[in-house]
Homo-oligomer: A and B are copies of this chain.
Amino acid sequence: MKAYIGTRDFLPDDWRVMNYIFNTWRKVSEQYGFEEFDAPTIAMVELFTEKSGEEIKKQLFWFKDKGGRDVCLRAELTPQLARFYVNYAKAMKKPIKWFSIPRVFRYEKPQKGRLREFFQYNADIIGEDNVSATAEIINLSINLLKNLGLTNKDFTIRINSRKILDALINRLGVSDKARFYLLLDKKGKMEEKEFEKELKTLSKEYKILKELFTLNTNELLKKFMELGLDTDRLTGLFRLIDKKYAVMDLSIVRGLAYYTDIVFEAFDTKNELRSILGGGEYNNLIKDFGGEETPAVGLGMGDAVLLELLKSQKKLPIFENTTVFIATIGSVLKDAVKLREQLISKGCNVNMNLTDKNLSKQLSYAQSKGIEKVYILGEKDLKKGTITVKDMKKGTEKKIKG
């Protein structure tokens, strides 16, 4: 019996890692005042074609239900978030700050970092147009990664502005906007000369354009001002975020039809992996879903690339097993059950022997589970009112009162 391709089986040791990541995501989101919600796994297909067009059906697991409805497994959370906002958020004070950890589904060819079924953290602020909302989402992104043990030696947040790009296109007379965006998106994979050659075909001012890609964040912001561009949002943003972790990067593009101004992605500093997380401002979505025009900004982070990074940077913690074990000698099962209840009421997690295995087999079972403390309950000991406690690491034993 096999699993379906592109899915993962999580044994307890694997799932412990996932719970560690989920719990860290939850903890940090709540520290930043976000509230968790959840939407169904099964959705109507039209919810997804509404945002992304019929094209998206290629990537959807979709089928007709027995009542003839076109339904699908959610491929991302955002359309459901928009539906929630339009249906429920009218009476709520703005902004809405919500996060969720959905399992999402993509009909893709399984490969490294790409699965048919994975988890994708989402956090969004809806209903606040001040750039401080975007700063909050980026600071949240930084702290989600920091709380998993990653530092600025491991990742960088790369930020861009659609409006600045469009202003540059106008100011420097770029002839073909679509080709320019495509070129930016490919820049990371191109030789410098090739990039320069392409740039030359797009604008007479290609030397200024080319220079922009050599500047750091402060130099860039200064240059934009010299060129007469409106940098208020960008400077406001960089004033509120931790610049040790975030830089301006003109080559960050992301979904053209979807994002409206500031966009960002986090990459590993070695540039070996796909982006770890990404997001930006999407001020048209709520309106597209039948709501009023509403500012929105959010981030999404899958678990697959993140896991690769945590493993390669050796940032996953060692999970110690704090469960204790009760071993039994003779007919003391009822006493063992009692002892277990006592230990649980003191805050212990307790595994216990359930049968008449000999002691050495019981100890080897406990050892195989990584258990460090074993209570040995024997008939003779019980009559004397004592219990033996064995430290499995040190191999020492002592008697305590039962």
Q: Which residues of A pack against B, CB within 8 Å?
A: 1-4, 7-12, 14-16, 18-19, 30-33, 35-44, 46-47, 50, 61, 63, 65-66, 69, 71, 73, 82-84, 86-88, 92-93, 95, 97-98, 103, 105, 107, 116-117, 125, 128-130, 132-133, 135-136, 139, 239-240, 289-290, 323, 325, 333-334, 337, 340, 344, 348-352, 354-356, 364-365, 368-369
* Chain B residues, Cβ within 8 Å of A92: 368
The distance in angstroms between the C-alpha atoms of A400 and B63, with both chains bound, is 60
What's the least CB distance linking A41 to chain B, in Å? 6
Q: Look across to chain B and name the residue whose beta carbon is closest to the beta carbon of A371.
A: B33
Chain B positions within 8 Å of A61 at CB level: 42, 63, 65
Q: Say yes or no: B354 contacts A95, CB within 8 Å.
A: yes
Chain B positions within 8 Å of A46 at CB level: 1
A240 touches B1 (CB 8 A): no
Q: Decide: A117 and B18 in contact? CB cutoff 8 A.
A: no
Residues of B within 8 A of A15 (CB): 36-38
List 11 additional contacts besides A4-B69, A12-B36, A63-B63; criterion CB under 8 Å.
A1-B290, A3-B39, A7-B40, A9-B87, A9-B88, A12-B37, A15-B36, A18-B38, A31-B350, A92-B368, A125-B354
Question: Quick check: B43 and A3 within 8 Å, CB to CB?
Answer: yes
| Cβ contacts under 8 Å, A93 to chain B | 364-365, 368-369
User: In this complex, what residue of B is CB-closest to A98?
Assistant: B12
Q: Is the CB of B337 within 8 A of A40?
A: no
> A42-B61, A349-B30 given as contacts; is B47 within 8 A of A1 (CB)?
yes
Check A103–B41 contact: CB distance below 8 A.
yes
B1 near A83: Cβ-Cβ < 8 Å? yes
Instruction: Look across to chain B and name the residue whose beta carbon is closest to the beta carbon of A115.
Output: B40
CB distance from A278 to the nearest CB of B (A): 21
Q: How far is the CA of A129 from the CA of B92 in the complex (A)?
A: 55
User: Taking A37-B11, A323-B30 as contacts, is the C-beta distance between A44 and B4 under 8 angstroms?
Assistant: yes
Q: Which of B18, B33, B337 contacts A351 (CB 8 A)?
A: B33
Q: Collect the chain B residues with CB atoms within 8 Å of residue A82's CB.
A: 1
Name the CB-closest residue of B to A4: B42
**Can you spell out 9 A-B residue pairs with CB atoms less than 8 angstroms apart?**
A1-B47, A4-B71, A11-B88, A12-B36, A15-B36, A16-B36, A41-B73, A42-B116, A133-B354
Ordered nearest first, which 9 A-B pairs have the shortest CB separation? A33-B351, A7-B40, A63-B63, A12-B35, A130-B355, A10-B38, A132-B354, A93-B368, A1-B83
Whether A41 contacts B105 by the Cβ 8 Å rule is yes
Contact partners of A87 in chain B: CB under 8 A = 1, 9
Residues of B within 8 A of A37 (CB): 10-12, 14-15
CB atoms of B98 and A39 under 8 A apart:
no
A139 nearest in chain B by CB position: B337
Question: What residues on B are CB-neighbors of A69 within 8 Å?
Answer: 4
| B128 and A355 form a contact (CB under 8 A) | yes
- Report if A11-B84 is in contact (Cβ < 8 Å); known contacts: A93-B369, A107-B66, A354-B132: yes
Q: Find chain B residues with CB under 8 A from A66 CB.
A: 107
Complex Cα–Cα for A19 and B2 (A): 31
- Measured CB to CB, the closest approach of chain B to A337, in angstroms, equals 6
